[in-house]
Structures are given as C-alpha cells and as structure tokens.
Structure 1
Amino acid sequence: MYLTPQRVLIAGATGLTGEHLLDRLLSEPTISRVLAPTRRPLAEHAHLENPVGELADLLPTLAGNVDIAFCCLGTTIKQAGSEAAFRAIDLELVAAFGKRARELGARHLLVISAISADTGSSVFYNRVKGEMEEALKQQGWPQLTIARPSLLLGERLDQRLGERLAAPLARLIPGKYKGIEACTLARALWRLALEEQDGVRVVESDDLRRLGK
C-alpha cells in the first residue's frame, strides 16, 4: 500500500545524504511542510521551516504536526572527538529525535544506520549503531524503516581521508558491501517513505541501491 506524506520532519539536512533528500522533499508537489532544524541556515523555500541551532536544543521547541520523519544524522569517532561524543550523537541524539518526532504525530520514522550494525559487535561503531536501532524499536513506532547502507559515496564538504581512499574499492565490491551513492540512498529513502508497511523493516545496502535506481 502506498501513501503520500504531506508534512515531513528531517534531521541531518545539511549532511551528504540529507542534502539530496531535502532537495527531493522540497520538489515534491504533495508535500506542504518540511521542518528541517539545522546548525546553519538553509536556502529559503515556501514549504521549508528551518529552525537554526543545535538540534538537542531545538528538539523541545519544534511544533506542529508531522506525518513522517527522516533521520540522516551521523558522524565518525574522529569528527566527534571521542567515543562518548560519538555515542551522544549517533545513539542518544538519534533516539531523542525519534521520541520528539513521535510526539509531533509522525507514524513512520526512516533512519540511516550502518551495514554492520549489531549490538553484540566487538567494533564500537557497529555496536553503537546496533544500540541505536534497538532504542528506536523500543519507541513503539507504527512503522520504522532502518536503512543499512554500505560506504556512502559522494562529494563531502569535509573530505574524510579514509573514505576517499576506500571509495574506488567500494565501487568494485559485489553484493551489499558495494559502496552506495548518497543520491541513490536519498531516492531509496523517499521510495520507502511512500510504502505503508506496519512494524520494523530493515533494508540492506543492495536493496537500497536497487530502490534508488
């Protein structure tokens, strides 16, 4: 079954995938409102509401009903500065965003996780992503879509050396571990947003690439 959301909340709209997704949302004639809190101001648009500041501070101030929410938040341990700071963003802030989106009336949350997310992983990054998924599952979403992309490909403002070196190889790896373009992921998220399917749905990277073609 397909539905057409009209009021959307998005976190991470200035990120690699979030920028592509925001462009798509603002170009959809059926969408009447996009609520996009960001650290830096976005270009003005008739259907865009853009509170500016730290997301943790803005969450309690967000108002008005939304139908659906996208969470494109994500950082690296190096960018965050420590494991504790990384957890604060990729687990605690994501969970807080989900809670607030639910309070604003959203019935469907789509979140970007990671291909190897696992609460039992010995790798800190993957373990935190798994814990984030579990935290969102505990929020009682009527519909929760977890996207697990492999290495995201695309031009970043802050080029990460490791990702830049890994990108050529990631394009050659077969199956779900093959790198995925951020614009492809954004298209896949929008297609998934149009599908009504109760409960939790986990979408791996190879399916995301197929949906985003």
Structure 2
Amino acid sequence: MSRVLITGASGLVGGHLLRLLNDEPRIETIVAPSRRPLAPMKKMFNPHDPQLTDALAQATEPVDIVFCCLGTTRREAGSKEAFVHADFTLVVDTGLTGLRLGATHMLVVSAMGANAHSPFFYNRVKGEMEETLRAQGWPRLTIARPSMLLGHRNKKRFNESLFAPLFSLLPGKWKAIHARDVALAMFQDAMTGGKPGVTILESAELREKAQLAAR
C-alpha cells in the first residue's frame, strides 16, 4: 500500500491523476494540499489555505510518492514574479515537503523545451525548477515534459485554443497530448518499479505509457 502527496489536484492533469489515485486499491491515503477546498474523496486529506505553502505545512503523516501538477502561464499568473512563485517556488516547496514526509519518488509536470539556459522566460523557469528538484537528491525523480495539453479547462487559455489544432497534427514529442494521458503515464510510472535517478518522459513517451496502461 502506498501513501501519496499531490499538489495541483484541481488542474487539468492533476484532476485526472487524483481520480486515478482514489480508485487505485494500492493507494492507501492521498494528501492533497490546495488553495481552495477540493470535492471530498474517500481516501483524501485536503488541507487548504489561500497560501499553498501554509497548506503544505499542515501535511504531517508519512508519504511514499509525491506528484506535482502545478502549472500556469505568465498571462494567467499576471506577472513574471507570480509565475515564478507558481511554477518554481511552489513546485520546489512540494518537493521539500515530500522529502520531509519521507517520500522516495517524486513525479512532476514540467514542459517540453524546459531548459535553465533558455532565452525564453517560460522554458527557463521550467528548466530552473527541474535543476532545483534534481539538487534535492531524490532517490527517484520522474519529469514529465508534455507538449501542448488538450482537455477541458474552466478557463480557456488563448494560445492553446489558437494552436491546439496545429499541434494535434505534429509528429513525435511535438504532438499535442491529452491531459488524461499525461496523468495515466505518471500514474503508471509511479505504480511500477523503475530505475533510480532521473527519468525524463517527453510527450511521445508519455503517450506510449498511457496506451500501454489503458490496455
């Protein structure tokens, strides 16, 4: 039986992942800190606070696995500083909380093109986040780098609405991927044994894992 911590459970990937975890008999408990209350689930403990860091501090019981599905855009965040807080600081805080609670495997949603040395702000922040999680010394770290995410959002993102048809036609890792496939691939990776160290799953690999898991 496994105990998990998840942040970003109200988001596009996180919502699918939360349901998978709740339905899985091998999952004993789910700790899901959030800014706003989540709909109750039988296995879930949901500490919530407008400051997610304060909600994370309320998690005290041991966990085995950490999932981080936090992510926004600069437009949604409202400023560069707010974006960095959401996509870097809170992700790093999620990792530190997992380590504090004894977890040995962290899985995180990053982005295609993440690179700490990128000239593009979004990709650079994602890359810096990945490097910081690596430096935390996780026995096992899985980084998912999806292309454009498909799925229903309560609030539409302009760029995704505009470019989704194009990205759906692209090959390999560039091809748009449904959020449920990212969630299923991360779930599958967590529930099966894997090699120690860092594993990077690009969109094509995420899609393959999801297809195998769905059979």
Q: Give CA deviations for 1:53-83 in whole Å, capped at 9, x if unaligned.
A: 1311112221100000000000100111111
Aligned CA RMSD, in angstroms, stands at 1.0
Secondary structure of 2:94's counterpart equals: helix
Q: Which has the higher contact order (CA 8 A, sep 6+)?
A: 1
Which residues of structure 2 form unaligned runs of 5+? none
Distance in 2 separating the partners of 1:100 and 1:44: 22
Percent identical residues: 51
Gaps of 5+ in 1: none
Pairwise CA distance, 1:113: 0.4
Q: Do the aligned partners of 2:35 and 2:55 also contact (CA within 8 Å) in 1?
A: no
How many residue pairs get matched? 209
Distance 2:116 2:43 in 1: 38
Partner of 2:90: 93
Which residue in the other structure is 2:208 paired with?
210
Q: Report the TM-score when normalising by structure 1.
A: 0.95
| Alpha-carbon separation, structure 2, partners of 1:196 and 1:99 | 22
Aligned 1:27-38 pairs, distance under 5 A: 27-38=23-34
Give secondary structure in 2 for the equivalent of 1:17.
helix
Q: Name the SS of the counterpart of 2:144 in structure 1.
A: strand
Aligned counterparts of 1:12 and 1:104: Cα–Cα separation in 2: 18
Task: Note the alpha carbon deviations across 1:81-127, whole angstroms, 9 max, x for none.
Answer: 11111111111111111011111011000000001000111000000
Aligned equivalent of 1:198, options 155, 179, 196: 196
**1:41-62, CA deviations, whole angstroms, 9 ceiling, x for partnerless residues?**
2222221101121311112221
In the other structure, the counterpart of 1:171 is 168
Counterpart Cα distance in 1 of 2:85 and 2:42:
33
Structure 1 segments of 4 or more deviating over 3 A? none
